[in-house]
Amino acid sequence: MFKLLKTSGSARRGVLKTAHGEVQTPFFMTIGTVGAIKGLLPEEVRQCGGEVILANTYHLHLRPGEDIVAKAGGLHKFMHWDGAILTDSGGYQVFSLSKIRKLKADGVEFQSHLDGKKIFLTPEKAIEIQLKLGSDIMMCLDECAPYPSEKKYVEKSIELTAEWAKRCKQQFSKSEIRNPKLNQKSEIRNQKLLFGIVQGGTYPDLRKKSAATLVKIGFDGYAVGGLAVGEPAPKMYKILDQTVPLLPKDRPRYLMGVGTPENILESVERGIDMFDCVLPTRNARHGYLFTSKGVVRIRNEQYKEDFSPLDPDCDCPVCKNFTKAYLRHLFIANEYLSIRLNTLHNVAFYQTLMKGIRQSIEDDQFGEFKAGFLKKYNS
């Protein structure tokens, strides 16, 4: 399912085959937690260059429910998206909703943040939900330990994650879900991808143990989880230096929840192929816009009479048609259009960055591209 095409140092250029087409790597996934990208139509994400959207199992299970999505023909049809979809398992909510959940050996009990109803999510249930959603890439249920955590806690956490990964793999392998376009079960199985998640906090020996266990179980791809949760960036990079070489070269590598343009470049340099983060869309709603010369805080007074484009080096519709003064006016006036334009630009910026990264690896010039980008971005 994954073909490595070119390398530039440890940076990798490849292609990932999914049921909804081939995806060029490295790539960045725009967040569509509940089956929607806040402020944008799905085709606008596609026009920006996006090929994969990330949706969330926990949130879609709560509302509208996987059965309703299945009746609609699956999440792709429900949200009118023709590209690939990756669904998180709900494992991140084990971390982010720690105040309203109880962790148990056989799963995790949540108290719904919507109506207080108790929900019990097991590894098997997480896979069943994702299969009904019809996602192309499914994630194993895991526990993301907070930072900092005592080593004894993290050690128990990776044991739980490993056990859940085995159960997810078993449920995934025996699924009777059918793709009507295919006849043989082996072909059906190969249309869906299951990723294991390496945990271990900031402890190299636990990361090594977690990676070895998951590789032994065997997955279509491997994610590095539990980073970008509060630890300093240099520590994250050090963990990647120690963890990425432990993962199979013929499988895609996914760094979950990362990140800033600097984070992405540093991680690609270490051999990561896949990224996701809320920053492009969330920051857009708060008026933080990514440009080739760094972040623009569009509400600032200095842009009140600035009639230049947001980023002269960007050819997105926002930069081609609107000025910083207008974007500031919309944001200060709290106009809905502000969210749409800001989001459209940030999503386009990230996809343009990924396109540049891919081209630089093809040209075996990734190091030069990274240095040039960061010099300008931090100027």
Pick the closest to residue 343 from 26, 35, 137, 36 (CA basis).
36
Rg, Å, the chain Cα set: 21
* E-strand stretches of the chain: 2-8, 11-18, 21-25, 27-31, 52-56, 84-88, 101-104, 107-111, 118-121, 137-139, 193-198, 221-224, 253-255, 274-276, 288-291, 294-297
Question: What's the token pair of residue 309?
Answer: 């484009």
Which backbone phi and psi does 177 adopt, to 5 degrees? -60, 135
Tell me the three state secondary structure of residue 86: strand
Q: Which residues contact 14 (CB under 8 A, 6 or more apart)?
A: 2, 3, 4, 5, 6, 24, 25, 252, 273
Largest interatomic CA distance in the chain: 63
Of 88, 136, 273, 311, which residue is the catalytic one? 88
Contact predicate 226/201, CB 8 Å: yes
Query: How many CB atoms are located within 10 Å of the residue 5 CB?
Result: 13
Residue 84 vs residues 33, 59, 66, 97, 238: alpha-carbon distances, Å: 14, 19, 18, 27, 31
Give Cα separations from 99 to 92, 94, 111, 113 (angstroms): 13, 9, 9, 10
Judge whether 88 counts as a catalytic residue: yes
Neighbours of 318 (CB within 10 A): 22
**Catalytic residue at 241?**
no
Please name every residue paired with 119 in a beta bridge, in sequence order, or none if there are none.
110
H helical segments located in 174-278: 185-191, 204-217, 233-243, 261-269
Q: Which of 142, 220, 273, 276 is catalytic?
A: 276
| DSSP states along 126-167 | HHHHHHHHT-SEEE-------SS--HHHHHHHHHHHHHHHHH
CB atoms within 10 A of CB 198: 33
By annotation, the residues acting in catalysis are 88, 276
